[in-house]
Structure 1
């Protein structure tokens, strides 16, 4: 018997919350819900959902605080749904550890598509954990996948969750050019459009942290007009 994915809906707008719950249950998903961020944190730890659909504007704490409190403790994919549509707010949510961002208003079809993408990533992560290498190293850069730790010359480099996801992806394909589209599809899902500028921002931040001279990078190479490559030697 198939185990249905469990989805936690965190939304304080009751009509939208009901709309999402009814729509998702009609597709066979199991749903739990709350309108409060603090309750959401407790539900995440007690119920271990597969997907978290999270509004940012909650009555007790901001949705970003929810992400920051649970991101390191859950493998659930976090889909932010918010009326905040500005580029900076989207980047902030993704950089805090959200996996996807859906701007209100949205259709049922789009929400279901984002959930399918999230579940593919969730299942892929679970299936690959045991076979993936535990450490990647090139020159003075070392990535410990089990500890999610990045070091240069044994000095730990603090990366945000989104920065870590990007460098982890590139390390899995070290030496190969990853196109902008491929990286965006893998990190945010194919339903994100026009995220190239956000990607450039994140890459610039990573370079500032790991490169001696970000203008002359030795680790992350830009292939102009195509994408990025993490060196492998």
Structure 2
């Protein structure tokens, strides 16, 4: 069965983060889109990124979409799922936030808010609305991959993590969810259990670290192919 995948990246990354996963899916005959979310700006927040994915679905008249979100991308795909549920086959969360309406990323991971606050305290006050990249060295990347990611990563707007997930916009049922836990990632272990309790199908890639779309792309691509 062929599918249309829209892959949504995590914090500080871009569509380039899927450069190793996308070819495997395309080789299997799937259509794959890897948008880059809007870069940092004073008015760029979670709602901006949700609107971008909704606009992509509308612009290309996509239907039966498998919408995939990694890390922060889980916030975005959940919002898009509320906006265009009738166009989405399923939402797939890769070691990602799994929010309910009214929750922000910082609400779900207060420790992340604390880390961002500590980092912001070391920078000029006029940059308070920015979150600069940090922590990639804890995400299971080999030295060459760490250098590659660090060179490409860009700041994001704090509003992306402060804005709460909007309430559903329509009366359509939310699309079904699959949660893929990365076994060696400590960041979303509890979230995977929450997703399971809320009815998501739960899969695990044992031994995978948080940046598995880069460091373990073969297995990530294979598991995504099996979700459809």
Q: What TM-score bracket applies, with the shorter chain setting the length?
A: 0.3 to 0.5
Greater strand fraction, Structure 1 or Structure 2 = 1
The alignment's TM-score, normalised by the length of structure 1, stands at: 0.38
Higher Rg = 1
Q: TM-score normalized by structure 2?
A: 0.39
